[in-house]
């Protein structure tokens, strides 16, 4: 239990670490912003597919072959995770990427960096990114509950921590552009990571108490991360004319997680 909380807390604190450069700088080039965002997307996609879903699917084959009941449990978990992410996307006000559907009457095509005097837009970005903390914590907690893969939780915590550092940069940039002070920008971004240990504790407890439901919870966390990555992060990183840089970030993030998983296996 202590290991889960420490790993999740460090992954959450990494969000604030990512915003530290804005103690000394005010602006971030758009190309760098998109590349970092793409890197975070690659980390999350790999963690969800190579880690969470791979482990969930490993349980569907028994001595007699494919277990239809367990496969159905995994599919149901994935669908439930996507459904939860869609519901969060609809009911929690936040801003999507330019050209993507807007939630609060913001006109399509406006960029977070085009209006530095509007601090609210920085908070919209923070709100969107903060949605990720709950499924990230759930994923870490469920990963530590997998007895057959004791290092899965550690791999997920490292991947989530790296991705959170990327998101810390992404959240810090519009806040500084909006005129928020350097210290308040860093503290605001760091505060979004506080929920991650609580979500990890819930994921670990639920997976341990209901051991047979572990594949469901792993798939649920994986489905949620995949939907958020494809609905929020990738559109944002690819909507400002730097698609190659963003795609290079996605590929790099995926490769980093592949190497991390191999090293910790």
Q: What is the pLDDT of residues 240-260, one digit of tens each?
A: 889 999 999 999 999 999 999
Residue 111 has pLDDT above 50, yes or no: no
Phi/psi of residue 62, nearest 5 degrees:
-110, -165
In this prediction, residue 222 has a pLDDT band, given cuts at 50, 70 and 90, of very high
> What's the whole-number mean pLDDT along residues 71-98?
81
Question: Which of 67-71, 107-111, 180-184, 257-261 is predicted most confidently?
Answer: 257-261
The radius of gyration of the chain's CA atoms, rounded to the nearest angstrom, is: 18
In this prediction, residue 18 has a pLDDT band, given cuts at 50, 70 and 90, of confident
> What's the whole-number mean pLDDT along residues 6-19?
91
In this prediction, residue 95 has a pLDDT band, given cuts at 50, 70 and 90, of low
Specify the pLDDT at position 102: 38
Total structural domains within the chain: 1
CB contact at 8 A, 112 and 237: no
Is 0.85 surpassed by the pTM of this model?
A: no
Report the percentage of the chain scoring pLDDT > 90.
38
Which tens digit of pLDDT belongs to each residue from 148-174?
A: 777 888 999 999 999 899 888 878 877
Comparing 63 with 125, the larger pLDDT belongs to 63
Which tens digit of pLDDT belongs to each residue from 31-84?
A: 988 999 899 999 999 999 999 999 999 888 877 788 888 899 999 999 999 999
- Domain of residue 259, residue span: 2-264
Mean pLDDT lowest among 44-48, 174-178, 187-191, 206-210: 174-178
């Amino acid at each position: 239990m202590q290991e889960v909380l420490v790993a999740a807390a460090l992954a959450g604190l990494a969000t604030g670490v990512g915003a530290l450069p804005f103690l000394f700088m005010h602006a971030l080039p758009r190309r760098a912003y998109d590349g970092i965002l793409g890197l975070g997307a690659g980390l999350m996609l790999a963690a969800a597919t190579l880690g969470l879903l791979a482990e969930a699917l490993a349980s569907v084959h028994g001595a007699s072959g494919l277990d239809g009941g367990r496969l159905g449990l995994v599919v149901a978990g994935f669908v439930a995770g996507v459904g939860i992410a869609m519901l969060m996307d609809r009911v929690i006000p936040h801003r999507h990427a330019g050209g993507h559907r807007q939630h609060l009457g913001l006109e399509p095509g406006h960029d977070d960096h085009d209006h530095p005097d509007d601090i609210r837009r920085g908070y919209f970005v923070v709100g969107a990114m903060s949605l990720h903390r709950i499924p990230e914590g759930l994923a870490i907690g469920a990963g530590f509950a997998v007895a057959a893969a004791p290092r899965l939780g550690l791999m997920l915590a490292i991947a989530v921590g790296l991705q959170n550092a990327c998101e810390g940069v992404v959240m810090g940039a519009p806040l500084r552009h909006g005129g928020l002070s350097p210290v308040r920008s860093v503290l605001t971004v760091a505060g979004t990571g506080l929920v991650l240990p609580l979500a990890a504790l819930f994921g670990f407890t639920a997976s341990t108490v209901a051991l047979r439901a572990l594949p469901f919870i792993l798939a649920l966390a994986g489905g949620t991360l995949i939907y958020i990555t494809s609905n929020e992060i990738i559109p944002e990183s690819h909507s400002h004319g730097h698609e190659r840089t963003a795609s290079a970030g996605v590929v790099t993030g995926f490769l980093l997680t592949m190497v991390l998983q191999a090293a910790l296996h």
